[in-house]
Structure 1
Amino acid sequence: MPAPNTKKRDENRLPKREYNKPQPIYRSRRERQRKKKTNWLPIVLLVLAFIVAAVAGALFASSSLFDEKPVAKKTEMMASGDKTVVMLMGVDEREGDVGRSDTLMIATLDPKKKKAAILSIPRDTRVKIQGHGFDKINAAYAYGGHKLTQNTVENLLGVEMEHYVLINVNAFTKIIDAIGGVDINVEKRMYYEDPWDDNGGLVINLYPGQQHMDGKTAITYVRYRDEEGDIGRIARQQKFMQAVMDKLTSPAIIPRIPAIIGEVVDCIDTDLSVKQMIEFMSALKDAQARGLQTEMLPGKPMYIGGISYWLPDLSKLRTTIANTLDVEISSSLRSATEREMLEYESSIPDDAQEIPLNEATRRQLGLDNDKAEDGSKDKDNRKAGQSEDMDDETESGSYLSDPYAEDGDPRHGRAAHPASDSTDSSAHHTPASLPEPSAPAPSPTVPSAGKTAN
């Protein structure tokens, strides 16, 4: 019989698992069973990750929460120089589902100059995924986790992702409440009912004007999707992110930090060290004071086979990345970009239809109207006479008629599982927007006079 272990444990020492390896992004099976449906893009969580890391670093500055992971160098990639490029992902996983990335952003951080830029990548972006052909970029996580997503993003942007941050989006409501809510200027009337929602029914009922939103109200704002689909929603969420950054950089947030830690710390998985995240948080805060640079992946929305995609403009995209990194695009990368553009254009069927965006959305996302239309004129004749068909499709329950619908399962707002080849949405019930009440209830929040959203 082995002798009992009489060595006393140092009570001041953290458990080994807390400082020796990354903590899992997901909780126990029992906790996952209690997860609520999260069909939105909670950009705020990606920002709060740095807040939590900074506070944790102050408490445990003598140790590292994570091991540094070397990333293999790849050919035909732009060099980031003194800047660090981090892939930020918000992942939505449900019981019996491997999950997909609901939020995907690329943060370029310069701790020395205390500058930061964030590029939003729509989850509907049509890309070539290694081993799977062309698909929406959010499918890469379902196919191969964050590693395949990282590979896909690198091939798209032409720059290496040095680190990643994954965040479970399950804690959105509690986190917004923990920071004391946010102030948002709602740009228009937003009304939608979905009695088949997983949570026992969904009602989005917002009125125009400046409002202070708690977590429950904020969910309805970031979940709402109008006729512009995922692109219009990203525009609203960039606006929401700015409001959150304003709140996080105010002195009033200091007493709320412990509550924020409690809500976020269990939802993060990353290969960044504590020191790195403290530096990045400092860069984000200083960049916010100067005006945080946020951009949208250049491109245009189109229907392909009845499915909505965001088609990237590879040439403009890589020029944008090079400008952000202050580097020149090499001749080899230019040649590779030209080859990829030819392959991409040839993969688009002749009956593809462009989806119009209104001017307000274009301004919010910084899209160039002329550039967005460039290359699409040759399709104008094809699209003539098809607009009526598009209207009929929208009315019958297409991607745009349902605020949460994607190809595959409009009721749950998720694309079909990668293992399935079916894109027939007729097998699913698509909830239509119900008529507004004849006497709408007052706004759940009282508009504040004299404020404007940033």
Structure 2
Amino acid sequence: MTLAASPIRFPDAASRTVMTRRAWWLVAMNFLVPGSAQVLAGDRRLGRFGLGATLTLWTLAVVALVVWLLWPTVIYTVVSTSITLWVIAALLLFYAVLWVVLTLDTLRLVRLVKTAPSARAWVALLSVALMVVLSGGAAYGAYFATTASGFLSSVFVAGPTEPPVDGRYNILLLGGDAGPDRDGMRPDSMSVVSIDAETGQAVTIGLPRDFVDVPFPEDSPLYQVYPEGYGAIDGCEVDVCQLNSIYTEVELKSPEMYPNAVSEGSEPGIEGMRDAAEGITGLTIQYYVLIDMQGFEQLIDALGGVDINVETRIPIGGDEDNNGVDGWIEPGQQHLNGYHALWYGRARYGVAGGDYERMQRQHNLEAAILEQFTPANVLTQFQGVASAGADTVKTDIPQSMLGYFVNLGLKTKELPIITVSLTPENGVDSAEDPDYEYVRQLIDQALVPPTAEPEDVG
């Protein structure tokens, strides 16, 4: 069939059957290969432009798929950089506008008045619906990209990357709680997550908040003040000389100890806690993550809650005698919203085991979040996550490392998390006379477990 005889470009306008069939073909072509309808039946210049843009988009999609299959970290890095996200948003807006123009031009080419009266409304409705799918999807993608860019810029810094030490990345996790009865914020939960830089195997080390005589590395400014450990000789500058008081003391009393903290995306109190964690564990802490516990409630709600197997009845509020309790989290498999998840990990009074039992619950909560919160449900609830996260999370992890850590985190998700419990049951008395050499031995054994002896097969 020659082009001159083509019913697409040169239809029999007197035949409603031909014009109706042609209309359906043009609408389908505009959706499947934007620009092709114009190349065959209308303005070829516009068609060639639209077709070129379509083929370019397909090429980029294929290249991205191949790179993601072979080098996923590259893709994760690209989509976790603010500048790149703005470029993606601009491209998506371009395609959103282009698809609107091509769809409206396709409706012009259809010549609805020449089609069968019964088909006209359906052709128009289908064209508009497909335009909403293409252009609306692209516009939402652009909005998503700009929102993600703003979230990343507000949470993550633009500083230099840090290499792994002994093949591991060690991250200090702090759960901050600034209550009305406290002078400043005091971390209520502290742990170090050590992640194998190749396999993603994670080891979680819970740090009891009541550690005393906390040692510091010799290059720490706190070592110059407390060479025998925090408050070991003449006390400290706050009321209780234990681990979680270090943040308060440094932040409120001695911020000059860490003059570069703020410019490097941190705080003096956080840097003091980092030095304390290094002194306790013997590890080099490359990064920190501080989570505001009130914002944590909003974050869990944004993600739809979390499933937890509650082992013992947990009071909400109240004191050590359970006076003033506002409610209970009952034992059994529970789906907790943000408020109840916060109290599950936070409750200290009226529960057997005290701080040590609370540390175990916090570990259970971290493990449940890691298991249940997949990239898919984060993406579907991203606006809420971004809104909560911007006010909830503070970290010095640079944007340039996000792609690497996302890829590493996916590996971590597939492996069991190893836990180091620094509790009396494990021989660690944090509140009386902790043996920090023994603490480091426990950690070393978890990071580099002894090789099993070969069986005697003789």
Question: Could you tell me the TM-score, scaled by structure 1's length?
Answer: 0.50
Relative to total residues, which structure has the larger strand share, 1 or 2?
A: 1
> Which of the two has higher C-alpha Rg?
2
Relative to total residues, which structure has the larger helix share, 1 or 2?
A: 2
Q: Which has the higher contact order (CA 8 A, sep 6+)?
A: 1
Question: Could you tell me the TM-score, scaled by structure 2's length?
Answer: 0.49
